[in-house]
Amino acid sequence: MPLSERSESKGRMRGAPLTGAMMTERLAAVRARHRQEALERGINPRDVDVLLSDIVGKSLPYLIGHGEESVDAAPLDKLLARRYAGEPLQYIRGKTDFFSREFLVDDRVLIPRPETELVVEAALSRAGRGAHVLDIGTGSGCIAISIERERPDLRVIAVDNSIAALALAARNRARLSSRIALAASDVLSGIRGAFDLIVSNPPYIAAKEIGALQVEVRDFEPHGALTPGKSGTEVIERIVEESRRLLRPDGRVIMEIGFGQESTLREIAATKRFDVEDLISDLAGIARVIVLSAHG
């Protein structure tokens, strides 16, 4: 029987009554069987270890050192069936790490990416004491909450046009004892005030490129968080345009950009009378974060 069918029938405990007794196996056997199946399906076997650790409530070294202990394999079968269907590990676990903190995530929000930590670093290094910071498209709240938790002297407001995303950001705010303000706004249309820093990881993928994304992204992450429309720069252009009204004279816009968008961003900045003050590359050497300052 192919591994896939074996796994599915095991998930149903091979016709056993649903209310039947728990079927236990040795931890080492469960782990070895699922790591092998994950490899055959092109899934990182580390995902098996992470989910097994969550279920057992013990660390990986514990799992390795106590392979003779018994475990009910059914919960792991269920979670891995979701992983094999393409669901990202972070949604299955309901959480991920960003800037050394744990954030709740689900299909209402984009999963925070490591390269987005560059936006946080760029903001922290430029924020004067007591600066006012605005995060556009906050999603899980990861950028805004990280900035505020690192620097409680800053006043941070975070906006999104997704009410569902704002609800999850509010849960992260409470869990992480953050004091950011949250508001619904289409880019900056609902916002008044004066800001020293406007930060954002906006949706920047051109609509026609969505079909070519990994299944994990294309079929599971919210499309409103991925693409703003045909060109991919629709929200970026609006952020640059609308920021002028709210930026203080020596304020900055700090934004994540997509692969290959650097020259388009330079054109947008020039048209909207902004200077490109800095371009920060990620670990792969891709220009990932742009820092703009207004002139004229």
Ligand X SMILES: C[S@@+](CC[C@H](N)C(=O)[O-])C[C@H]1O[C@@H](n2cnc3c(N)ncnc32)[C@H](O)[C@@H]1O
Per-residue burial over 100-113, b if 16 or more Cβ lie within 10 Å, else e, is ebebbbbebbbbbe
Binding status of residue 232 toward ligand X by CB under 6 A: no
Q: Which of 262, 296, 261 is nearest to 278 (CA)?
A: 262
| Binding range to ligand X, per CB under 6 A, among 31-39, 221-229, 247-255, 267-275 | 221-229
Of the two residues 7 and 96, which places its CB atom closer to ligand X in the complex? 96
Binding status of residue 75 toward ligand X by CB under 6 A: no
Distance CA 159, CA 162 (A): 9
Binding status of residue 255 toward ligand X by CB under 6 A: no
Residue 249 contacts residue 282 (beta carbons within 8 Å)? no
Span 23-42, contacts to ligand X by CB under 6 A: none
* Minimal distance, residue 215 CB to ligand X, in Å: 18
Span 98-117, contacts to ligand X by CB under 6 A: 109-110, 112, 116
What is the x/- site pattern for ligand X, positions 145-164, by CB under 6 A? --------------xxxx--
Q: Which of 223, 235, 130 is nearest to 188 (CA)?
A: 235
* Minimal distance, residue 231 CB to ligand X, in Å: 14
Binding status of residue 227 toward ligand X by CB under 6 A: no
Binding status of residue 231 toward ligand X by CB under 6 A: no
What is the x/- site pattern for ligand X, positions 167-206, by CB under 6 A? -------------------xx-------------xxx---
Of the two residues 7 and 138, which places its CB atom closer to ligand X in the complex? 138
Q: What angle do CA 10, 14, 15 make, to 5 degrees?
A: 140
Of the two residues 98 and 274, which places its CB atom closer to ligand X in the complex? 98
Residues making contact with ligand X (CB under 6 A): 109-110, 112, 116, 136-140, 142-143, 159-162, 165, 186-187, 201-203, 224-225, 228, 235
